[in-house]
Structures are given as C-alpha cells and as structure tokens.
Amino acid sequence: MKVISKISDVLYNFEKAVAVLLMSLMLASIAFGVLFRYVLGNPLTWSDELAIYMLIWITFLGGSMSIKTGRAAHMELVFDRVNLIWKRVFLVAGYAIIILFTAIVAYMALQWITNPSVKTQISPGLKISMFLPYLSIPFGLICLTIHSINHLLQSFTYQDEDHELISKGGD
C-alpha cells in the first residue's frame, strides 16, 4: 500500500509541474497569437492549435489531479449522513467503478492511438503527429487509475477523521 501511495504522490507532483508548464505555454501561445494578429497584422497559423492541444492535456491531467486531491465531484450530502461502514462501502464501490471504467477506456485509447492511421495524421497548423495530442487521453486516464487504486486501498481503513483530509484536498 505504501508503494502505490508513493507512486501516486510522485505522479501527482509530476502532473502539477506539467500542468504549470502547459498553462504557461497556453497563455504564451494565446498572447503571441493576439499580438501577431492584431498588433503586427501577421497572424500565426499555429498559436490557436497549440493552445487547444495544451487545453486538452490540461483537462485530462486536471481530472486525474482532482481525484488525487479529493476535489472531484462527489455526493457529500449522502456520504455525511451514513455510518462508517457504509462510508467505506461507498468509497470502495466508487473507486472500484472508477478504476474499472478508466482502465477500460485507457486500454481502448491506447489501442486507438497506436493504430497506424492515427500515427500518420498530421496537425494542420503545427505539422506534428496527432499522436501527441491524442496521447493525453490514455496518459490522463492511466494517472487517474493509479490515483484511484491508491484511494481504493486507503478506503478499506477509512475513518471519519480522514474525510476532513480528503475534502480539503489531501495536500
């Protein structure tokens, strides 16, 4: 259990660093796009596309990070009104469903992006392989699965005091 927890923590720190980098690149891309289009009168062909791809990566990383920190949407109204045994049951069942769903979709996404037709697709503005933007889907879902496995293991020993830690972000 400590190994998966450590892996989840290291992965979360990596995700935070990548998210900051991607947000910075997205902001710079949009700023350069506006500058070149409206100030210099010579629009960049790639800036909007780069910002979109950064947003897609941030979306999947952010979803994973929200599970890690306990900030994903959940039904606190019901959860707070049941006893400890039912809380554990809800947590275990919920994380088991999340793991099953994300693992299946991540597997399907990996199958899809390794398809030769996807590998040969080139983005129109950046002229990069579409494999890179599409890679955000399985990467984000694999990270989400790892964080969910960590939470699933912790759910078996859940105590009511742990709820405060989870609802405040787990940091």
- When divided into structural domains, the chain yields a total of 1
Q: Domain range holding 138?
A: 2-167
* pLDDT in 10s for each residue of the chain, 171 residues: 789 999 999 999 999 999 999 999 999 999 999 999 999 999 998 999 999 999 999 999 999 999 999 888 777 888 888 888 888 899 999 999 999 999 999 999 999 999 999 889 999 999 999 999 999 999 999 999 999 999 999 988 887 766 554 554 555
Q: What is the pLDDT of residue 4?
A: 93
3-state secondary structure the chain: CHHHHHHHHHHHHHHHHHHHHHHHHHHHHHHHHHHHHHHCCCCCCCHHHHHHHHHHHHHHHHHHHHHHHCCCCCCHHHHCCCCHHHHHHHHHHHHHHHHHHHHHHHHHHHHHHCCHHHHCCECCCCCCECHHHHCHHHHHHHHHHHHHHHHHHHHCCCCHHHHHHHHCCCC
Q: What is the pLDDT of residue 108?
A: 96
The structure's pTM equals: 0.87
Q: What is the pLDDT of residue 162?
A: 63
